[in-house]
Amino acid sequence: MATPKALVAGNWKMNGVTENLVEIEKLNDLLGQGAPGCDVLICPPFTLIHQSMQVAGDHVEIGAQDCHANIAGAHTGDISAAMLTDQGCKYVIVAHSERRTDHGETNEMVRGKADAAQKEGLTAIICVGETEAERDAGDALPVVTSQVRESIPAEAVVANTVVAYEPVWAIGTGRTPTTADVAEVHAAVREVLIERFGTEGANVRILYGGSVKPENARELMSVDNVNGALVGGASLKADSFYGIIQAYD
């Protein structure tokens, strides 16, 4: 069965002002030197989405970092999926570990956001991952597979669904997942996706999102069922992000 085309997505988180747009321009220029072997996405903060669209060129897609489950209403400070499509976005990240932790987002809330995004024509990048306590208790696979099952909307299809695995326990702890750790979780996620979508579940992209850098990208991207990366800090600079993308040369 064919492997889905990889996606390397950069999550700028709460970083970036107008002067940082030069990094997107530079990235587009670097990608223009030869067609990348993967799709490339940058998700800047909401304030930069429109400007990012103007400088992204032909080689970089622009997405968003979150959306509300409702299309409109009295939700001060929130952004709806309809607003994102109005700006030209094609993707939106939902359930990033920082949203689950800092904002208490449950699987049910995540499913509502992903559903709203997909109904507006966006591809939802649904993040899953276990904490340090959950991994140490031996609960990594039950936690992650439950998150996948409960976070994907009922009307989701393969074409508008991406899953990103983030080992939360490895963020800022000094602990690093082995390729065997990554392979085990991605294989379990794949089983759930095939259970959910049938044989087409083999075509859902599963991204790895744990401190991916140019130095480890090739090794991580070669792991079975890893179909790209969700990149944090290393996506803020064109050179380092391009170094990760080159894993797919």
Q: Residue 24 CA to chain centroid, in angstroms? A: 18
Beta bridge partners of 228: 7
Which residue is listed with tokens 């966006």? 122
pTM of the model: 0.97
CB 42 within 8 A of CB 56: yes
Q: Residue 144 CA to chain centroid, in angstroms? A: 15
- Helix ranges (H only) for the chain are 21-31, 49-55, 81-87, 97-102, 107-119, 132-136, 140-151, 179-197, 214-221, 238-245
Give the model's pLDDT for residue 3. 83
Q: pLDDT tens string for the chain (249 positions)?
A: 568 999 999 999 999 999 999 999 999 999 999 878 999 999 999 999 999 999 999 999 999 999 999 999 999 999 999 999 999 999 999 999 999 999 999 999 999 999 999 999 999 999 999 999 999 999 999 999 999 999 999 999 999 999 999 999 987 677 889 999 999 999 999 999 999 999 999 999 999 998 899 999 999 999 999 999 999 999 999 999 999 999 998
Where in the sequence numbering do the catalytic residues fall?
Answer: 96, 166
* Number of neighbours of residue 65 by Cβ within 10 angstroms: 21
Q: How far apart are CA 112 and CA 69, in angstroms?
A: 5
Q: How many helices and strands, by DSSP H and E, does the chain display?
A: 10, 8
Beta bridge partners of 164: 127, 207
- Amino acid (one-letter) located at 38: C
Q: Is 224 exposed, middle or buried (0-12, 13-18, 19+ CB in 10 A)?
A: exposed
Q: HEC profile for 114-158? A: HHHHHHCCCEEEEEECCCHHHHHCCCHHHHHHHHHHHHCCCCCCH
The architecture that CATH gives domain 7-15+26-248 is Alpha-Beta Barrel (3.20)
Residue extents of the structural domains in the chain: 7-15+26-248
Q: Residue 4 CA to chain centroid, in angstroms? A: 15
Q: How far apart are CA 110 and CA 113, in angstroms?
A: 5
